[in-house]
Chains A and B, each alone.
Chain A
């Protein structure tokens, strides 16, 4: 259903177009408001009438965020946890996806069912025993502990997603290369692997988003204020201010959103393509 360019019904198309633009504006308003407020000093936020445009705004809120050492502590923790989680999960999921889509073996379907069901286990119903298990291994308040739980949490979906991509590359391509005299290993890395790169990128971004944004498990596992991830830091900012300092909080929210949004704008097409591939193909 590629978007047909209107030969007929031009008026209706324009009308629908207007609706789409209005919906877009409504959807984006909270984000706009976040950025707008981040540029305003507190005395201009606490007025009877809201300020809609940050004319002659200030950068002081951003300056306060970026000179706060607790921000950088949280940034470091988030970076470490996200890095470990993404690298490990992608590697493991990729190998598992290969097994599922390139082999028929006993227990394959059982594994697929497990992957599906595991995705449904409500993490929000599991955090207490996850905390206990990590506590028993002295991994509470440790980057490693949080990374283990995150990796486990994103693996099922990542496997599901990569499976679609791997199935999308016909085995015949590899076989043709083998006929031309390449070993299976070399045929795989020369032919199939490059075709899978977009899928790996998509899965990597998915993992990045999950780990960077996760709040619940971090709340339970990282209780030490020095080991907070960025979402915990931001929530701490909200609760730490008695007379809520919205300018500072909005600047903090903007700062932690920037890497995610930038990343996102680049790769979202591949991400939804990956999901559809996983859902439609066997």
Chain B
């Protein structure tokens, strides 16, 4: 472990934050040793984290960006030098209506899933604050089990639940509920019900995280504030809408942001359902589509860059707001 901060280092309160972005490369001639140690201390502390991020994320990202302007297919993987093709990969992708279909589907899937997750998650978090201990604990344990179980394990369970021959869901629909037609229904063969199932799984998996985060936030809302509002005649809904939720807004922001990011790049759920026998071309979202391009590194790189741009576009508002709240 690196040494903890040295006495000479500037501590939190005194120095106001200086102009951001510019790294402290310029060396001044002023009192030398003190300044140097005070300055290099935090950078030395950041270094160990920066190295793996640069190696594992930064370098691949840069490389991928470069690749996206090159012809890099099978021949190049066997040693032919890559050729610069300018924007060819991008034009090829962006003039293909199929690609736009994938993009549109991904954005729609992302917004629907993130939205549903947030609504259900916040509702359950509020519910938790309104019920007795027994009900709350039961709900917490139920959500925890869903949250804690490994994704691949739950994916196999969902496949089994919706198995066309022996799945319990088809049986439930056919027997107690009387939808005879559902007895041997295959859920993944049609794109629409494929996405319905994927949405069900994604929301089921993501809701617990939202519930626990928002609930933890709601617990921090001071009782006095709520009681004061109640004395002023605010009903339960008004207290929630105008007092509690605004106070936990930072939590809602970051959790919502994460949902959007995660749901746009959803891969495992889609990939596993595809491998279970769904038609891949009709069910690709961005993640699986890029994976399917993996023999063409150049095109895949361009598609990944487009995906990153979409992510940024969808989240820029959040990010700016969070940065403004950063001291």
Produce 1/0 per residue, B40-58, CB < 8 A to A.
0111011011101101111
B160 touches A92 (CB 8 A): no
Contact residues in A for B163 (Cβ distance below 8 Å): 244, 246
B268 touches A103 (CB 8 A): no
Q: Please, which residue of chain A has its CB at the minimum distance from the CB of B62?
A: A129
Indicate which residue in B7, B23, B59, B213 contacts A272 across the interface (CB closer than 8 Å): B213
B145 touches A261 (CB 8 A): yes
Contact residues in B for A99 (Cβ distance below 8 Å): 41-43, 45-46
Q: Does B9 contact A (CB under 8 A)?
A: yes
Q: Does A34 contact B (CB under 8 A)?
A: yes
**CB of A106 to closest CB in B, whole Å:** 4
A216 and B267 contact, Cβ closer than 8 Å, known pairs A98-B5, A125-B290: yes
Contact residues in A for B300 (Cβ distance below 8 Å): 128
B64 touches A104 (CB 8 A): no
Indicate which residue in A16, A24, A45 contacts B141 across the interface (CB closer than 8 Å): A24
Contact residues in B for A268 (Cβ distance below 8 Å): 144, 147-148, 212
Produce 1/0 per residue, A172-212, CB < 8 A to B.
00000000000011001100000000000000000001001
Identify the interface centre among A3, A20, A28, A37: most chain B CB within 10 Å of its CB. Answer: A20
Q: Does B319 contact A (CB under 8 A)?
A: yes
Q: Does B193 contact A (CB under 8 A)?
A: no
Q: Does A159 contact B (CB under 8 A)?
A: yes
Surface stretch bound by A, among B83-91, B111-119, B217-225? B217-225
A150-B4 Cα distance, complex, nearest whole Å: 26
Surface stretch bound by B, among A56-64, A65-73, A108-116? A108-116
Indicate which residue in A89, A91, A128, A282 contacts B290 across the interface (CB closer than 8 Å): A128
Instruction: Give the interface size bracket for B toward A.
Output: 35 or more
Produce 1/0 per residue, A66-102, CB < 8 A to B.
0000000000000000000000110111011011111
Q: Please, which residue of chain B has its CB at the minimum distance from the CB of A4?
A: B223
Instruction: Name the interface residues of A113-140: CB closer than 8 Å to any CB of B.
Output: 113, 116-130, 132-133
Binding site for A on B (CB under 8 A): 1-7, 9-13, 15-24, 39, 41-43, 45-46, 48-50, 52-53, 55-61, 63-64, 67, 124, 127-136, 138-139, 141-154, 156-161, 163, 165-166, 168, 171, 175, 204, 207-208, 212-213, 215-221, 223, 226, 244, 250-251, 253-255, 261, 264-268, 271-272, 275-276, 286-287, 290-291, 293-294, 297, 300-301, 303-305, 307-308, 311-312, 315, 319, 322-323, 326-327
Contact residues in B for A47 (Cβ distance below 8 Å): 166
Indicate which residue in B2, B24, B142, B327 contacts A24 across the interface (CB closer than 8 Å): B142
A118 touches B57 (CB 8 A): yes
A28 and B142 contact, Cβ closer than 8 Å, known pairs A96-B49, A130-B56, A159-B49: yes
Q: Does A226 contact B (CB under 8 A)?
A: no
B129 touches A50 (CB 8 A): no
A103 and B157 contact, Cβ closer than 8 Å, known pairs A109-B17, A126-B304, A129-B63: no
Instruction: Name the interface residues of A5-41: CB closer than 8 Å to any CB of B.
Output: 5-6, 13-14, 16-21, 23-25, 27-28, 30-31, 33-34, 37
